Structure 1
Amino acid sequence: MRADRLVSLVLLLRQRGRLSAPALARELEVSTRTVLRDIEALSAAGVPVHAERGRHGGFALLPGFRTELTGLNHDEALALLVAGSRRGAQAFGLGSALASAMLKVVDALPESHRDTAAGVAERLLIDPETDLLARRQAVDEVPGPVAAEVRRAVLAGRKLRIRYAAVDQAPRWRTVDPVGLVTVRDQGYLLATRSGADRTYRLSRIMAAEELPEPAQRPDRVDLDRAWQDRSTRFRTGGDLVTALVRVAPERRQDLVGTALAVLSEEAEETEGAESAEGADAGGTLRLEVTFQDARHAVWALWQLATDAEVLAPEWLRTTLRDRAAAVATRYEAPPEPLSG
């Protein structure tokens, strides 16, 4: 691990010029003291790195220094394979490996291409952490050691012991046969079997993990896309699912569909006085039958739509939303009490 970090440090200085110790520490995800020790190690190994004093000082390499440091290690190569989204790599615990790999890829380019690539990269931003309303995107946080242990067991084909915290349950240990890893909307999942039955575990709920020496009981080949589709179908058709009939304004249809698990039926409704039979295009509404994961999910999703949606059935869901709206209205009926002080 330290050898990889030393390589990344040299590449950072080659590509960005002078950098301070705190800046290097942030890039390498280590302490400033560790950076200073690495600088000393590079100097002792003959790498011409020197310190520049002053307010804008830092560390830099002598001009023209170049060495062949671009070989990718296993995790860096793996990170590039899942780098369709940087946060996708983060979900599998490969964020730092991806950053290190990209440094090596850029350094391997001819100088003219390297300069062009750096300029282009500054003009492109993919999947920022916040949207235009400054809302942070939900990204699962998975401890690095846990992600690494799960990943090793998946790739090596060995059994895995995990301490898993299911929803509304205390964490407990279980032994599984890992099949593969999937990331969906920046949330990572472990597909596995347990006692021969399919199981899906959210990575952020794995508190600890231990790769076991025994080989996993699993097929030699797997179609992860098909396996995920099968599990998704079973999830949508079982458990505590809630089916609701909802009238929604056309402009909010996508908001409803985006939060529901599935759309079972859809039809356009004409409002009174609409001249066209095109339903929503003539000022009408849409009537959708949709499913939600459970009662809590249904209430949350429909509350976001406010008066742009109306639950027609089931009655308990309609009543729940009505009571919540009444409670909010009551809270705002009277002016607020003066602030003390």
Structure 2
Amino acid sequence: MRADRLVSLVLLLRQNGRLSATALARELEVSTRTVLRDIEALSAAGVPVYAERGRHGGFALLPGFQTELTGLNHDEALALLVAGSRPGAQAFGLGSALASAMRKVVDALPEGHRAIAAGAAQRVLIDPETDLLARRLVAEEVPDSVVTEVRRAVFAGHKLRIHYAAVDQSPKWRTVDPIGLVTVRDQGYLLATRSGTERTYRLSRVLAAEELAEPAQRSDRVDLDRVWQERGTRFRTGGDQVTVLVRVSPARREDLVRTALAVAAEVTDADGWLRLEATFQDSRHAEWALWQLATDAEALTPNWLRDALRERAAAIADRYES
């Protein structure tokens, strides 16, 4: 265990340049005292790690230091094989590269570990193409030419021109400063800024893309997870949100909660049904969510939502009347 931790410590320093004892302890899930002991052990073994004092100090390796750290234990190899079965790489045009990398991982393992890891990976299935009801989960298609240009601009730190088709708008060319790429349930997104304003673009709506030679205006380091959460919060709290008073069967409460942006003021009626205030992104979102619950829910207010659901139900009834 300690040998694996020492290897991880060196890799962290190589990849990040300088890290404090607190940051290393957090990454390695040990105490700062353990990190300090590990640093001493590395120094004793001849690894050129040194400490920098001060507010922005920490531990670092001497510039130019390199070593071969290619050994993988069984759990590390299995983790890579399982990660390789996730479809996220497909969204960014890296499917073939990932498959090649997985073959190299398996080939680099000792023969005994190779069979064990490959066998274990066969017993884990991540995000299959269909769910238990045989509903096919359709991944968005993004042309290779588009995703390649987007990926190059993101990694190279260059500006990017995209021909983007926003919802209910004609496609337009835009020049953006790319920040990073995010994939959520097989849907790829480009996080960027445009004229200094934060933007999120769905890759499936990018019709064409061109990496530019001009450097992008962006920070050298970014916490994509934090950026994504902040944008998600703004998305949920902005726009033309609507609040609906709804009665729902207790058996379908979780279905309603999953689709709503927020749920408040929940009470139980005399018949056991639940009465909630649910907030949705807009009127179309509210109508769609309540329609999915059929007779297991009833929108009490606003009246325009009741009218919309009644008209939709009447249209269905007329279609099947004969």
Same-fold status (TM-score > 0.5): yes
Q: Which amino acid aligns with 2:270?
A: T
Match of 2:187 in 1: 187
Instruction: List per-residue Cα deviations over 1:251-282 (Å, max 9, x = no partner).
Output: 2122112222x11414131324xxxxxxxxxx
Aligned pair partner of 1:301 in 271, 289, 292: 289
Q: Distance in 1 between matches of 2:85 and 2:159?
A: 28
Note the C-alpha offset of 1:190: 0.7
Return 5+ residue gaps in structure 1 as ranges.
Answer: 1-69, 71-79, 273-283, 335-341
Match of 1:37 in 2: none
Match of 1:317 in 2: 305
Match of 1:240 in 2: 240
Instruction: List per-residue Cα deviations over 1:83-115 (Å, max 9, x = no partner).
Output: 476221112221221111111111111112212
Instruction: List per-residue Cα deviations over 1:28-51 (Å, max 9, x = no partner).
Output: xxxxxxxxxxxxxxxxxxxxxxxx
Q: Which amino acid aligns with 1:324?
A: R
When the two chains are superposed, the root-mean-square deviation of aligned CA atoms in Å is 2.1
- Distance change (3 Å), C-alpha of 1:325 and 1:253: same
Match of 1:44 in 2: none
Q: Distance in 1 between matches of 2:243 and 2:82?
A: 35
Note the C-alpha offset of 1:333: 2.7
Match of 1:270 in 2: 269
Match of 2:50 in 1: none
Q: Which amino acid aligns with 1:232?
A: G
- Does structure 2 conserve the Cα–Cα contact (< 8 Å) formed by 1:160 and 1:178? yes
DSSP-derived class of the 1:86 partner: coil
Q: Which amino acid aligns with 2:308?
A: T
Q: Which amino acid aligns with 2:268?
A: E
- Distance change (3 Å), C-alpha of 1:102 and 1:315: same
Match of 1:221 in 2: 221
Match of 1:177 in 2: 177
1:286 aligns with 2:285: no
Note the C-alpha offset of 1:289: 2.1
Q: Distance in 1 between matches of 2:231 and 2:114?
A: 44
Q: Distance in 2 between matches of 1:131 and 1:204?
A: 23
Match of 2:136 in 1: 136
Note the C-alpha offset of 1:156: 1.2
Q: Distance in 2 between matches of 1:241 and 1:105?
A: 48
Note the C-alpha offset of 1:217: 0.7
Q: Distance in 2 between matches of 1:259 and 1:141?
A: 25
Q: Which amino acid aligns with 2:191?
A: L
- Does structure 1 conserve the Cα–Cα contact (< 8 Å) formed by 2:129 and 2:137? yes
- Distance change (3 Å), C-alpha of 1:171 and 1:82: farther
- Distance change (3 Å), C-alpha of 1:84 and 1:121: closer
Matches within 5 A, 1:32-51: none
Q: Which amino acid aligns with 1:287?
A: R
Match of 1:155 in 2: 155
- Does structure 2 conserve the Cα–Cα contact (< 8 Å) formed by 1:269 and 1:285? yes
Match of 1:165 in 2: 165
- Distance change (3 Å), C-alpha of 1:82 and 1:128: closer
Q: Distance in 2 between matches of 1:324 and 1:198?
A: 37
Q: Distance in 2 between matches of 1:294 and 1:145?
A: 34
- Does structure 2 conserve the Cα–Cα contact (< 8 Å) formed by 1:243 and 1:290? yes
Q: Which amino acid aligns with 1:161?
A: R
Note the C-alpha offset of 1:320: 0.6
Q: Which amino acid aligns with 1:169?
A: Q
Q: Which amino acid aligns with 2:186?
A: D
1:249 aligns with 2:249: yes
Instruction: List per-residue Cα deviations over 1:211-246 (Å, max 9, x = no partner).
Output: 111111111221212211221122122223232222
- Distance change (3 Å), C-alpha of 1:329 and 1:290: same
- Distance change (3 Å), C-alpha of 1:101 and 1:84: closer
Match of 1:207 in 2: 207
Return 5+ residue gaps in structure 2 as ranges.
Answer: 1-69, 71-79
Identity %: 75
TM-score in terms of structure 2 length:
0.71
1:120 aligns with 2:120: yes
Q: Distance in 2 between matches of 1:287 and 1:138?
A: 34
Q: Distance in 2 between matches of 1:199 and 1:90?
A: 23
Q: Distance in 2 between matches of 1:111 and 1:85?
A: 22
Note the C-alpha offset of 1:188: 1.1
